[in-house]
Amino acid sequence: MTILNVETFAIPGPALITVAAHGDDRGWFSESWNAQDWRDAGLPHIDWVQDNKAFSAAPGTTRGLHFQTPPHAQAKLVDVLRGEIFDAIVDLRAGSPTFGRAITVRLSAQAHSLLYVPVGFAHGYQTLSTNTLVAYKVSDHYAPECEGGLLWCDVSLGIEWPRPDDVVMSGRDFTWPGLAELDTPFAYQA
């Protein structure tokens, strides 16, 4: 995982990490995880415990905005293996100077970039191509009793989804509360 660049945002914590891809006539090779390179780049220590994959056949498939509450809160490391996504995260840490603010990025298999999402953020994405495959590491195991979400289309978040009127989505994702109704389980720690 030779890290070429770590881009930080106006919201402290998340990072966009670009890794090297070594190519030849056969295609390319890239490490998706290397603990030493992660530490050398000054990124926070994370014990990743589970790898997940999500396949979406149709463009406009929207997943999120999701999080897990303590004691099973999750940090995530998001990687696109095939296709392209519009990724969005929202700061849910009570007391944070950036509470309720969103960060959006486009991730694609060709860009070789990963998005680090710390604990305390809601996460979601919308596919921009057919047959999109997303992989992500998480720092705690899936715990259904700790599942939470934030309404993806809450206008107060200021997220400009590329396909706002043409989404393929789980019914439950239409029922999450908006930011004003959310009782956040996360606290900001300076």
Measured distance CA(17)–CA(168) in Å, rounded: 28
Task: Give the three-class secondary structure for 33.
Answer: coil
Range list of β-strands (E), 25-172: 27-29, 50-56, 62-68, 76-82, 84-91, 93-94, 102-108, 113-117, 121-127, 132-138, 147-149
Say how many Å lie between the first and final Cα of the chain, rounded.
29
Q: Which of 116, 123, 125, 136 is catalytic?
A: 136
Answer yes or no: 116 catalytic: no
Pull the structure tokens for residue 143.
């715990």
Q: Which of 22, 45, 66, 125 is catalytic?
A: 66
Answer yes or no: 142 catalytic: no
Which residues are tagged catalytic? 66, 136
